[in-house]
A and B are shown apart, each in its own frame.
Chain A
């Protein structure tokens, strides 16, 4: 415990303080860099690894020069979102190429910068292996590659709306719109309009409506109810389910979990105390209280229960509203 810990030592060996021009003259890269001296705008060195900053428009010719000089193996290609990097100025994204030369037995890193809208020339013609790497970089960061034969998503699914490794993408994820019941949630995917991921409702986690898994969700029932009105239901079981579950919705327009509490209260303002209590519930029929929403309202109104804190999905606002209604009425 008491041992004094030395600060992390400076990266070993690297002759510290070489200027960009010196690094560009390093024998490892000199021949390749000298083909287009101006294309390499800057050079850095850390932990004995050389990083060359390359002009975006000339990245393909620089890569080809390196390949001709023995860097036949593209180890890795990835991107970095520098938008939250302390002290970073300039375009938002960096694309990083790690090259390896079998003859020199050394690696070199190239980096080029771009923003959201400017595509980077693809190096798939130089190395075949760049294909999937560029697709992954596009998928994860939204960097466009010009001239890529098949630039589509690779890890996320087609239609996913977002680029997960961007710094403004929330770690909790976003609501992608993917649901079990396409009748309820229309196809097309994508997060809800204006979703930021900061609100719990934006996040693709349990929202209460998943409780309808195994039974029929409200909209589907509503559709069946409409069908039931016009024609006789074929199967008696179906008729029973429709009749039972459709009943509250017929008389209670507020029985819809998508409505906000003030809206629901407004709809029920002319109704009885039971109706107002019913409208204050979260309308998910989650049965956490022991009843469905109507049953709980009924139980409070008839004095069967005095506990006003049982509505879990309604949270504090339902509880407050129930207390207000009970103290008023």
Chain B
């Protein structure tokens, strides 16, 4: 047999392309990865412990800090889980539902734009970063106009929304949406048929549909493997059943297909917002809150509720003892944590430089992995 010179290499936690503080212990033979072991926990802040010690409304700002590039969807998952626990899901007014959908789709756009920028820069394409941040800045401005914050939004409340639509907000979004299609074309011009991009992504980190389900993978990585499963369609929440959109699917389950899926998802986000704007104009102004008790004390019981966050299935498992205003236990099922688990399986046999592409394609946010 050949003489194999194995070596152990630390990748991160201070590596710029690990998107935060991910450490991967690599066992390599030359440049080729024999084994990879992710080491996480550097950003652990005990969010679940904190949830047990504050009442339900106080938890909402803490959800922002998990996936800090997609705060709106984090808020949405939590408030919906509590609403399900209280049995008031049906009482949420239409205007509030549409606002939630608009905010979470804008959030999906901004999250995907950040993913595209960093993914491309990791692989060596600097230019898309400047293009995507141009649009992401505008999306963040919409958040700022709605709730005053750009990243940690805290923009949803149990039973409704904190604010009505600001004046001129919908017109601005409409104008942005009209231009956004051209912007996506610009990104695709830079990458989709780019020979270097394709050589770095096609055939890298292939996941078969069965494998993806076995690893519990959700979101764009699952759909990139061709599994037609999107929580907005499968177990719909808010007013998604009334909205018309497609779930883009990949074929080969490689990094390139996952890229294509996310690009198409942005176009679908645009389409959803396009439909929401006329609908929200038809609803009465100011009707954004359900009439619920100010003190939130859900009955005894337990629920698991999940939504389709930009990264995948974001679930909240809440146990209420029926006596207090705090959750007895609140467990978060973060998509990044579960998706990251498949990294060793995807990385085996590839080069170290491909690992950078793989970390990018899973689209992890360490705040969510470690909570």
Q: A residues touching B (Cβ–Cβ < 8 Å)? A: 3, 5-12, 46-47, 49, 51, 72-76, 78, 80-81, 85-86, 96, 98, 102, 105, 107, 109, 127-129, 131-133, 136, 140, 153-157, 164-165, 169, 171
Contact = CB atoms under 8 A, between A and B. Distances in A.
A47 B85 contact: yes
B299 to A, nearest CB: 6
B329 interface: yes
A9 B216 CA distance: 34
Given A8-B293, A129-B341, A155-B41, A46 B302 contact: yes
Given A5-B292, A129-B216, A155-B41, A12 B49 contact: no
Contact of A76 (B298, B299, B315): B315
B304 A73 contact: no
Given A47-B303, A171-B49, A128 B214 contact: yes
Interface of B: 40-41, 44, 46, 48-50, 53, 84-91, 213-216, 229, 234-235, 291-294, 297-299, 301-304, 306, 313, 315, 317, 319, 321, 323, 328-329, 331, 333, 337-338, 341, 370-371
Contact of A11 (B44, B87, B317, B323): B87
A176 to B, nearest CB: 13
Contact of A164 (B46, B315, B317): B46
B274 to A, nearest CB: 28
Contact of B235 (A105, A127, A156): A105
Given A76-B304, A131-B341, A140-B48, A6 B214 contact: no
Contacts of A105: 234-235
Given A5-B291, A165-B329, 15 more contacts: A6-B291, A8-B298, A12-B90, A47-B85, A73-B216, A76-B317, A98-B317, A129-B216, A133-B338, A140-B48, A153-B41, A155-B40, A155-B41, A155-B370, A171-B50
A128 B339 CA distance: 12
A109 B292 contact: no
A152 to B, nearest CB: 10
22 contacts: A5-B294, A6-B293, A8-B87, A8-B298, A10-B87, A11-B299, A51-B302, A78-B317, A78-B331, A85-B321, A98-B304, A105-B234, A107-B304, A128-B216, A129-B341, A132-B338, A133-B338, A154-B41, A156-B41, A156-B44, A165-B48, A165-B329
Given A73-B216, A75-B333, A165-B48, A8 B299 contact: yes
A153 B41 CA distance: 9
A154 B46 contact: no
Contacts of A98: 304, 315, 317, 333
Contacts of A78: 317, 331, 333
B333 to A, nearest CB: 4
A86 B215 contact: no
Given A5-B293, A8-B292, A127 B301 contact: no
Contact of A155 (B44, B213, B235): B44
Contacts of A165: 48-49, 329
Contacts of A5: 291-294
